[in-house]
Structures are given as C-alpha cells and as structure tokens.
Structure 1
C-alpha cells in the first residue's frame, strides 16, 4: 500500500531568535537523524523517493538518515513557516511578546496561529491560506509519486499536513504542532478515499533507556 513517511528534522539551534540562526542542526540533531536512519534500515525500510525542504536542517537530516534508494531531491514547498518572522510581526502589531521559554511558547503558538488564520498579522511572510495550499499541493503530488516516500520537513508543515488529511480546526492544528518531536515519524497511508493517519509522532529510535534524555521539541 502506498504510504508517505513524514519526518521532522533533528534538533536545530534552540537558542536562536531568528530564522537564519535557527537553521542548523545541533550535534544532538545529527545524532538523532543517524539513530532514526539506522532504525529504519534495521527494519528493512528503504524509500523509492526521498525529498526534503531546502532548509539546511531538513537537508542535513535526510543526509544523516541515509535511507534513500534514489538521489534525494529538495522542494521548497516542504519548508517551514517562518515562525520567528511572524512572531516578531505579531508582537509589533498586537503587543504579544515572543516567548522566552517552552511554557510561554505553548500559549503563544495557538494564539498566533488563530490570528494568522483570521488574516490579522499583516507582516506574516505568507498567508495562512497560501501555507495550507502549498502543503496540500505537495501531499497530492507525493501521493501520486513513487512509493514508499520519505519526506523530511518541519513541525508546522507536518501539523498542516495532518490538518489537511484529517480536516482539523485551527486549535487542533496548533496543538498537534506543539507535540511534534525532533526526528519523529508520521505515516500517512494513501487510500482511494484520501489520506489516512497510520502513525503519529513516533520516536522508536529514541526509546532505549540510554537515549530517553535525547528527546527534544526545539
């Protein structure tokens, strides 16, 4: 059966406060990606098609995984929404400060996404509708391509992919994004009736006791 494996990139520069500084894998992020690749290979999974966004952290994660049977390709439709840029605009326009820690982030993201969907962030790099459309377009193309396919992307893209597949409202979409871990895997089956979620936020490569402290969200 045709399926798409969505993978979030490994841990990036979690201390960053802008897009450029964030876009590089940490040493742990590279290790997470290698562990995931080893897990998939040991399970006999190889991929006829491998794709990532064009962001460094996405490209490097796919390279470290080393699971592609064909040369990996890059597609900007898998690039993450520009969180830092949009958060700065949200603060400038609505007075909502950028979060300084994860508890604050958990409150900030749903509020910002709701304002984004309503068209209330004029400085957003792209509209909510445009982001949703590019992810839906990418999913449709992957569903028609060679299978199985692995696509390395980011948390916001994965959340939106599940919103499209499961017809989620904005609150559920935001909450999904908050839970997605680095190098987690999300499996979508391609059925005649559409996409079906078969696996969400799985991190089997990080379950051994000695790796449990290596699970990260940022």
Structure 2
C-alpha cells in the first residue's frame, strides 16, 4: 500500500500586499517539519506542489533541509494542487454580498484585525461560490475545482509501498476529505479553517481507495513550545 502525505503550506503573508509568499514564521514551520521527518526517518519517493509561491517555497525548504529523505531530485509542480481562486472569489462575489448584507459590510471594515469577521466573510463567499450556477461568475466553479483535485490525486502513481509528499493548501486538503470520506462539501470546507499551517494529512492508498490515517497532524509544532508558531492563516 502506498502513502500520501498532504502538507498544508507554511504561513503566508496575511494582511500584506502580497499574500502569496511565506512569512518568516511560515519558513520556520517548513524547516521544523523537515526536521521532524529527519528525526522519524521518514523517506519519500516523490514530492509535488501546486504552482502558488507559498506552496512551492514550502516544498523547496523541505527539499533543502532533508535531501536524504526524498529520493526525487526534482519538485514536480502541477496546477492540480493549486488552491481554489480565492482572489477571484473575493473580486467577483464580495461586492454582491456587501451590497446585500449590512452585517457583512460592517465585518468587511474589520476583516484584517478581526479573525471572526474574516471567517464570517469567507464563509459567506464560499457558500455563494459553491452554489454558483454555471457561468454565473468568471471563475473556476466548485465542481471544476473538485474535479481538478480528484484527477490530480487519482493520476498519482502510488503502487507498491511508495510514499508521496504533496505541498498544497487547505481547500485542496478539505476537498480530499469530501471526495474520499464523503463528508458534505460545506462541512469539508469548514474543516479547512482548522487546518494548521505545515500540518500533515496522511492517507493510505490501495489502488484507487484512500483511507485516512491522520488529519491536521502537527507534532513538529506541538513539541516546539511556541504557541505563536501554530497558525491557521
């Protein structure tokens, strides 16, 4: 049986002009994960990432910090493991929500300072996105995103006892929970908000069947004694 490790990227630069880059904390989280893999003698055959900067940088740190633990010498980048188009969701759907909902408009004023306001806004956006009609917005739909992730996972070669690392994002990890555990889409996406940066979700693969071994597993963060290194966005 093969094993698939889905790694959420390290902390990105929330609140800054360019979100899609690792923060200093994100780089530390990736290095701590690499150290954990070295200490546990975890060996991987291949490493993949999406094309987003925060995903690629996390994967590159893993490769740099534990070269003897990854047989592959090249990172395989594929859009299959990119996050859903969050910028597009905000750009296309947010104006409608703000015009319809006074509470949402109030939350939007505090979206950077207030994590609760950000989560309420994001929840409303994702609900609208996941129920959008075909062609309603110029965006990749939820159904298209889900199919992209499904194809990316099923196209992996996990025969024998291969172990594969994929550095991706919370939405992709949540979608796998939906696809392989049949968790309702909205509930699965809600789980993504609890997914820690640099955490592991581990799946055991037998042919095209995937069984969950661990979700949101982050011993490398729990043992470091630094609460500020445990982040969710």
Please state how far the C-alpha of 1:190 moved relative to its aligned partner: 0.9
Tell me the equivalent position of 2:210: 195
Q: Are 2:79 and 1:76 equivalent residues in the alignment?
A: yes
TM-score, length-scaled by structure 1: 0.90
Structure 2 unmatched ranges of 5 or more: 99-103
TM-score, length-scaled by structure 2: 0.85
Whether the 8 Å CA contact 2:3–2:203 is kept in 1: the answer is yes
Structure 1 stretch displaced more, 154-163 or 91-100: 91-100
Please state how far the C-alpha of 1:123 moved relative to its aligned partner: 3.1
Correspondent of 2:129 among 116, 121, 142: 116
Whether the 8 Å CA contact 1:89–1:122 is kept in 2: the answer is no
Whether the 8 Å CA contact 1:143–1:190 is kept in 2: the answer is no
Tell me the equivalent position of 1:126: 140
C-alpha distance in 2 between matches for 1:145 and 1:158: 21
Two-structure CA RMSD over aligned residues (Å): 2.0
Structure 1 stretch displaced more, 58-67 or 197-206: 58-67
Q: Deviations over 1:90-120 (max 9, x none)?
A: 2223325554432123223333222212115
1:125 is paired with a residue whose SS is coil
Count of matched residue positions in the alignment of Structure 1 and Structure 2: 215
Task: Tell which structure's C-alpha radius of gyration is larger.
Answer: 2
Structure 1 unmatched ranges of 5 or more: none
Tell me the equivalent position of 1:206: 221
2:21 is paired with a residue whose SS is coil
Please state how far the C-alpha of 1:88 moved relative to its aligned partner: 2.6
Whether the 8 Å CA contact 2:158–2:205 is kept in 1: the answer is no
Structure 1 stretches of at least 4 aligned residues deviating more than 6 Å after TM superposition: none
C-alpha distance in 1 between matches for 2:12 and 2:128: 26
C-alpha distance in 1 between matches for 2:123 and 2:179: 17
1:29 is paired with a residue whose SS is helix
Tell me the equivalent position of 1:85: 88
2:88 is paired with a residue whose SS is helix
C-alpha distance in 1 between matches for 2:71 and 2:53: 21
C-alpha distance in 2 between matches for 1:193 and 1:22: 35
Q: Are 2:34 and 1:34 equivalent residues in the alignment?
A: no
Q: Deviations over 1:103-155 (max 9, x none)?
A: 12322333322221211593352011110000000111125468200000011
